[in-house]
Amino acid sequence: MGCSGCRVRFNFAKVLSKVSVFFAMVLIFTYFFYCLTGFCDSAPRSLYTQQALDYDILDDNRRVLDDLRPPARLLPGAPSLWNRTAAPADAEQVEQAHGQHPSVSAEEAAQSSSSSSIPVSNTFGIKRFPQAIIIGVKKGGTRALLEFLRIHPDVRAVGAEPHFFDRFYDRGLEWYRSLMPRTLDGQITMEKTPSYFITKEAPGRVCSMNCHTKLIVVVRDPVTRAVSDYTQTLSKNPGLPSFQSLALKNSSTGLIDTTWSAVRIGLYAKHLENWLQHFPLSHFLFVSGERLVSDPAGEMGRVQDFLGLKRVVSDKHFYFNQTKGFPCLKKPEGSSRPRCLGKSKGRPHPEIPSEVLQRLRDFYKPFNHRFYQMSGQDFGWD
């Protein structure tokens, strides 16, 4: 009997021990379960907080929200977005930065421009210094060339003329870069300011930015160019003296007044000498303003080759406008009409006495021949 009681007490103790172990294991399992559940619940919040912090660092005027969208270039029909340079926005941006609205800084102007009705594609990429600049010449066809280049998906250009290297150089290179459009890898940033070609300081300033910059000069018969220049000025100032009184120092001697800008711009050889002190000839492309009218596709092929671009702009993009007397771009997709340059382009020239024009041709002849030799091209103006 005594031994039987001992066995009962011993079995009870074993059961109690097992029950205690079981409850201990339940408590441990419950503890780990709640610990793990709490960790899993807190982990996403921690990661999300970190992610939000990263986005705050990257956020630049809501760029992150735009960057979350797929690039416009990957969407059906989207390549046309890359051809848009929002010229009105660029023009406003440059005007503000130039000081016409002194209360707005260049940086604020750029931010305002990027947030006002600009295609989403403009928020991609970065702002770079231009790899190519159309440096001249005034009334040579620079606006037409830039508009034709804009058809190319790998060209991005400033809408207004920045005039950085001749008028606003004291504002600094970062100010200049802030005016540039955003570009992706493989795209070219460009700008056009025809007065650079005749500005003495411009070559050194451009080289100080980048001596590998590609330079495009659109040239035209200097006599025709001078008349076109005068016509433009006359439209703005109807009281302007006659062309011959400005072009000639003395009507009896027939000496040409080279101090008049309309005449001085046409001395291409002299201006090129200044540029060749800083850049090799291989960095220049001389575009014929006449051929840009008579054969725009052919001349644009040369430009695209010079810039290292695939030949995208071709005959299919142009038609000749008989009224204006120069080529226009055919109707783009989604547009109701073709694209021609503004009303100021193709205006009729005033009648100039033939003897005055001949004196100008005789005056320019040696300079033209010198320019042909320097550029390696005969433009046939004589």
Instruction: Pick out the residues of the known binding site.
Output: 139-143, 220, 228, 345-349
As to burial, measured by CB atoms within 10 angstroms (0-12 exposed, 13-18 middle, 19+ buried), residue 306 is middle
Q: Give CA–CA dist 23/28, Å, rounded.
A: 8
| Alpha carbon separation from 331 to 151, 157, 261, 326 (Å, rounded) | 12, 21, 37, 16
Read off the tokens for 260.
């008049």
The catalytically annotated residue of 14, 18, 138, 139 is: 139
239, 248 contact by CB (below 8 A) = no
Read off the tokens for 179.
């005016």
Secondary structure (3-state) at 132: strand
Q: Give CA–CA dist 199/256, Å, rounded.
A: 21
Sign of the dihedral defined by the CA atoms of residues 149, 153, 154, 156, in that order: positive
Q: Nearest-CA neighbor of 359 among 254, 264, 231?
A: 254
243, 227 contact by CB (below 8 A) = yes
Enumerate the known binding-site residues for 3'-phosphoadenylyl sulfate. 139-143, 220, 228, 345-349
CB atoms < 10 A from the CB of 188, how many? 19
CB-facing half-sphere around the CA of 171: CA atoms within 13 A: 20
Q: Nearest-CA neighbor of 230 among 200, 205, 266, 204?
A: 266
Q: Give CA–CA dist 233/214, Å, rounded.
A: 30
Catalytic, 139? Answer yes
Read off the tokens for 216.
């495009």
For 318-347, the DSSP string reads EEEETTTTEEEEPPPTT-SS-B---TTTTP
DSSP secondary-structure letter at 70? P
Number of H helices and E strands in the chain, helices first, is 14, 11
Secondary structure (3-state) at 190: strand
DSSP secondary-structure letter at 107? H
Active site positions, annotated: 139
